Structure 1
């Protein structure tokens, strides 16, 4: 039996929510290990739609323990709001089924404001990153700068004021330099103390809790947000998120050793999308891109932003397979391609007339990438709701098999609709 890490193998939005929910039924513990409330999962269960941003997908399943690890940055007010919203849908989120790492960093209003100030300034200079303006990056900066307020600090009212002073020494100097008003110490204290009673009951020494569950033989599912190409080190820098999104972060972001990670499942969309600024070699600003966006309902779960759409890029996914040590992929949204006369797959790049087999790290080189395409015949039959290989058109099977060859990883699961049962299971990651 293997513990399972779920990662996005593209720019996020690959349909991780459904797959994580499908796997969470087989898991005992579901751990969120990085990111913040700038990404989300949409779960469709018995016709009910649940939209999650901070909470691990395990919270929608009775009898499962959901854990928010130390690698996550937490907006406490957003978390409380999400808990209350799910309560309105009939889900009870209590300290019995949700635990939060006591050493996780908090996102404050000043982080959100700074995020917005920078994006506004960058828009004027043409250097906008395209963040969600939710304070994720600034919160991670404070974590690395060793001035962050963490969950455990809410319980220590004697030392909290001094920590707020240290934080404001940095932020108020920065705000003055940007031409914005300073933040009052009392405002931050009120912001924190007003939510502490709602957050503190969930705090936990998460690394110890997870180690105890591991030693008992529990099945642990590690749930990532965003995708490999948004990784702060391995993504299309600087148009990336502010955390490591690759599978290796599952260990660091939860406090477990690398040996606790077993099967790495890469969620992979049957075409490619991305949100925000940055390079996108296979983007289709034409009828094809419009078709994929409309058929695939390509709008962000959290932000509602329209996603850019393009053909499947085997070069990038092959790179993600290597970066994450992906064991197998879950191929999603195959049904979106139904009805197209032909399909294109990017099998290589050309930069300044020279062919390359990977996306270079240089921003300049990335901007000059030209995709090399291979064309495959499409299919007219519907794949929606297929649950067996024999339900798929021959050309759809050929498309999937060719993707496996190009990326160097097998398909473990194949998703053919948002409904969790519309899934073709090849390999159960927990039984690998």
Structure 2
């Protein structure tokens, strides 16, 4: 019997999910790294290299954008599902960069869905051109070509890994057709088609052994009793349907994206772990109700080293937002929280938690769908005493100052979700496990 009440005598494996609860950058990679030691397979189900996970192991810092960060476990198979959009040049670069830091022969651990769509360099160029056209109304995308690639996927003009590894003349025809479509829209878009095709002939052979029918692979693995961990990219408030639209990504980074991005039925999902940064951050434009455009925001940014792994942009910072967190929980049904970077709050005399939205004298039960309305909400805060001491050496909940314990217990009480893990520093060992 799984934690969601599922009983199936033919299924003995476990399938757990790690999701970001806010606007991303919550520290999902660290939790995945902790859990990956105990699983057979780690999966990415959506997004592309617009995501960034950092894992610190001793003196080494690994950064992942397309690869599941659980690939650090050399005994783990890493699956990139059909819901992910893949830039092969950047995937190869990521593999080489992390192998240079000590990881060995990552391609042997890697399986890529033959149904995954491909991101080309011209998608990235188009991403930038579209942002430029919007002017002051730009969305602040990563310009990695993710939106344009999902657009071609939905318009059924996209190109998948299966196309690359099939008859190359068919791939060539689809590639040229897509280029022509974009050049009609952007007349100054310069693409050396012959040179690109030459590269992709080589890429096809480099990646061929990694590409498989991942749906069948995962289902066979489940029947064989394998344990699987899905690591979500981006986060709930960036979800194309449920996030702060239009300031969102182009994929479903909520729990539904696990099913559609890997070809797995909901009944197989056991636990859903929500990763919560102890305060809030977001990169790029868009409403941010608890943002602190003051000294508090500067302290959070500097102490938290809040620089985007992918974009290298400074992250906007603010207090923890319980309204968003409860909304995120409604959508995903978290079984446990992992609260990260609690140590960043060590120096504050008092810490605040946003607990209620009000607009035009009316209290809101959830974030409004309209981004303009969300920008106008007034936030009611709960103020708690700070702990004013270094907690980075704490390894048990009881070792935390009482004020820090109260902060965690308040999150549990307000959201109705138990906090299982608490991050108190950047190293992989700097974590409290309350299980």
- Sort the TM-score into its range (normalised by shorter chain): over 0.9
| Aligned Cα root-mean-square deviation (Å) | 1.3
Work out whether 1:85 is the aligned partner of 2:97.
yes
Which residues in structure 2 correspond to 1:29-428 (within 5 Å)?
29-123=41-135, 126-156=136-166, 157-176=168-187, 180-181=188-189, 183=191, 185-427=193-435
* SS of residue in 2 equivalent to 1:158: helix
Post-superposition CA distance 1:15-57 (Å, at most 9, x none): 1111110011111100011110011111011221101111111
Distance 1:71 1:297 in 2: 31
Check the 8 A contact 1:295/1:336 in 2, yes or no: yes
* SS of residue in 1 equivalent to 2:34: helix
Unaligned runs of 5+ in 2: 3-13
Q: 1:182 to 1:85 in 2, by over 3 A?
A: closer
Count of aligned positions: 422
Post-superposition CA distance 1:308-347 (Å, at most 9, x none): 0000100000110111111111000110000211111111
Using the TM superposition, give the Cα deviation of residue 193 of structure 1 relative to its aligned residue in structure 2, in angstroms: 2.0
Moved more, 86-95 or 141-150: 86-95
Using the TM superposition, give the Cα deviation of residue 138 of structure 1 relative to its aligned residue in structure 2, in angstroms: 0.3
* SS of residue in 2 equivalent to 1:22: helix
Check the 8 A contact 1:251/1:260 in 2, yes or no: no
Check the 8 A contact 2:23/2:282 in 1, yes or no: yes
Distance 2:393 2:213 in 1: 42
Distance 1:350 1:74 in 2: 41
Post-superposition CA distance 1:289-313 (Å, at most 9, x none): 0111111110111221100000010
Which contiguous aligned blocks of 4+ residues in structure 1 show a shift greater than 6 angstroms? none
Check the 8 A contact 1:69/1:100 in 2, yes or no: yes
Distance 2:140 2:98 in 1: 29
Post-superposition CA distance 1:80-135 (Å, at most 9, x none): 11111122122123443110001100000110000011112223xx1010001110
Check the 8 A contact 1:154/1:200 in 2, yes or no: no
Distance 2:401 2:389 in 1: 6
Distance 1:194 1:369 in 2: 53
TM-score, reference length from structure 2: 0.94
